[in-house]
Amino acid sequence: MKTRIDPSASRISGDLADPAEAATPAEPPARERRQRVQSAQTGMTVLKGLANLGGRASLTALAAHIGESPAKVHRYLASLIDEGLVAQASASQQYFLGVEAMLIGLAAMRQVDPIRIAEPSLVRLRESLDVTCFVAVMGNKGPTIVRFEEPGLPVTVNVRVGSVMPMLWSATGRALLGLLDEPRVRAMAEEELAAAPADLRAQLDRDDPIGVLRREVQAAGCAVVRDTNLKGISAVAAPLYDYTGRICAVLTALGATGGFDASMNGPIAVAVRHEAQVASGLLGYGAAPPGGGA
Q: Cα separation of 226 and 24, whole Å? A: 73
Domain chopping of the chain, boundaries: 30-109, 112-282
Query: What pLDDT, on a 0 to 100 scale, did the predictor assign at position 75?
Result: 92
Q: How confident is the model at residue 55 (pLDDT cuts 50, 70, 90)?
A: confident
In which band, very low, low, confident or very high, does the pLDDT at 257 lie, cut at 50, 70 and 90?
A: confident
Residue type at 287? A
Sequence letter at residue 96: F
**From CA 273, how far away is CA 226, in angstroms rounded?**
18
**Residue 77 one-letter amino acid:** L
| CATH of the domain spanning 30-109, picked from 2.60.40.730, 2.40.170.20, 1.10.10.10, 3.90.1170.40 | 1.10.10.10
pLDDT at 154: 60
Residue 29 has pLDDT above 90, yes or no: no
Q: Candidates 2.30.40.10, 3.30.1330.10, 3.70.10.10, 3.30.450.40; correct CATH number of 112-282?
A: 3.30.450.40
Number of H-type helices and E-type strands within the chain: 11, 8
Can you give the pLDDT at residue 236?
Answer: 93
Q: How many CA atoms lie within 13 A of 260 on its CB side?
A: 22
203 compared with 6, residue with greater pLDDT: 203
H or E segment and range at residue 33: helix 30-52
Helix (H, G, I), strand (E, B) or coil at 118: helix
- Residues 6 or more apart in contact with residue 45 via CB below 8 angstroms: 66, 68
Q: Flag whether pLDDT at 229 surpasses 70.
A: yes
Mean pLDDT of the chain: 82
What is the per-residue pLDDT across 133-177, written as a single tens digit (0 to 9) for each?
999 998 888 899 988 887 766 666 666 788 889 999 999 999 999
Measured CA angle at 180 (ends 208, 187), to 5 deg: 55
Enter the pTM of the model: 0.62
